[in-house]
Amino acid sequence: MLLWSLVSTHVWGPGSVLLILVFLLRLSVRLWYKCHLWDLQHCCTDLTGKTAVVTGATSGIGKAVSQELARRGARVILACRNRERGQWALAEIQAASKDACLLLGEVDLSSMASIRSFAQWLLQECPEIHLLVNNAAVCGLPKKLTPEGLDLTFATNYVGPFLLTNLLQGALQRAGSARVVNVSSFMHTSGYIDEEHLTGAGRPLTFNQNYYCSKLLLTSFTGELARRLQGTGVTVNSVHPGVVYTKIMNQFPWSYRFLFWLSSFFIKDPQQGANPILYVSLAKELDGISGKYFSSSCVITLPHKAAQDPHVAQSLWNASVKLTHLNKAD
């Protein structure tokens, strides 16, 4: 009451009241996250001698994940499509932890040719890979075909990780025990599966539905890959980081971006967004857990029905093998 009478006097005015309310709200959001995020500090997983690959490490969640992995002693391959942005991220992470062992790799996940040459280079550099985080993604893009005849959004968010994961399978298995983590999104539940989308055909998609559908495909694959890798020591899971303020909305119209900016005060920052991904990557209690989808509160959750159907997943796998010309020699 006293506070209220104090702030509502003319000296303070309604503007300040609003400011204080916003501040208090922000504080409670902070506290809420503090209590609900996985306790990273108490996880003692040490990654010395381990190799981790993070795609899309130039910004947002990918950069935050890479930084924590490097801090724990891993040799981290920052897989970026733009060399200059990659070098910036590398310098930033190096500055934050002096002993970080980082390597920059160039890969455009929307291009199968680029992924193949990246994988070839990577397998020479690192015959064993202990962790692969499929994090890079785009959203808000209109339908557009890549020179290889794939839809750009589906190529980047689904076909790219599919091909990369498969090409690195040998190195993951050689590591003895390895994890694959796909960064999905809760928005995958608004998608549906139509394999024709991969090549820009199929049922028409409304604005940003290509993002939802591509994330659904990614989630569907968790199950299929897990089934295929059973008993190899490689586990695969997907996870939703939560709603995080990053440059993911850069392709959206300015009105969306403005709303996103306004909300930035109340949603996660990239470090907090990295938390569920780090949980799935590091937590000891997840040894042997595979084929699951984790919510942003680090809880195993059932994904969209379509992503639970093994027949759909197998058919999608077959279509993806054909599209990427994946064969036994890979």
Ligand X SMILES: *[C@@H]1O[C@H](CO)[C@@H](O)[C@H](O)[C@H]1NC(C)=O
Q: Which does 164 bind (CB under 5 to 8 A by kind): ligand X, ligand NAP, none?
A: none
The item of ligand NAP, ligand X, none sharing an interface with residue 303, based on CB under 5 to 8 Å by kind, is none
Closest approach, Cβ 324 to ligand NAP, in A, equals: 15
Amino acid at 38: W
Of 29 and 152, CB closest to ligand X? 152
Site string for ligand X, 78-107 (x = CB under 6 A): ------------------------------
Q: Which does 161 bind (CB under 5 to 8 A by kind): ligand NAP, ligand X, none?
A: ligand X
- Residue count (the chain): 330
Q: Which is nearer to ligand X, 90 or 286 (CB)?
A: 286
- Packing angle, helices 60-71 and 270-282, rounded to 10: 50
Angle between helices 310-324 and 160-167 (to 10 degrees): 80
Nearer to ligand NAP by C-beta: 51 or 189?
189
Task: Closer to ligand NAP by CB, 260 or 317: give it.
Answer: 260
Which of ligand X, ligand NAP, none has residue 165 at its interface (CB below 5 to 8 Å by kind)? Answer: ligand X
DSSP letter assigned to residue 108: -
Distances in Å between the alpha carbon of 284 and those of 179, 279, 280, 306? 12, 9, 9, 29
* DSSP one-letter string for 152-209: HHHIIIIIHHHHHHHHTHHHHHHTSSEEEEEE--GGGGG----GGGGGT-SS---TTH
CB 168 within 8 A of CB 100: no
Residue 211 a catalytic site member: no
Residues lying near ligand NAP in the complex (CB under 6 A) are found at 55-56, 58-62, 81-82, 85, 107-110, 135-138, 156, 183, 185, 240-241, 243-244, 246-248
Shortest distance in whole angstroms from residue 89 CB to ligand NAP:
8
User: Which residues 108-137 are close enough to bind ligand X by CB under 6 A?
Assistant: 134
Cβ contacts of 207 within 8 Å, gap of 6 or more: none
The side-by-side arrangement of strands in the sheet containing 292-294 is 101-106, 75-80, 51-55, 131-134, 178-183, 234-239, 292-294, 300-301
Residue 138 partner contact from ligand X, ligand NAP, none using kind-dependent CB cut-offs of 5 to 8 Å: ligand NAP
Catalytic residue chosen out of the listed positions 211, 212, 245, 293: 212
Instruction: With H, G, I as helix, E, B as strand and everything else as coil, classify residue 77.
Output: strand
Q: Does 272 bind ligand X (CB under 6 A)?
A: no
Site of interaction with ligand X (CB under 6 A): 134, 158, 161-162, 165, 180, 182, 218, 221-222, 225, 236-238, 311, 314-315, 318
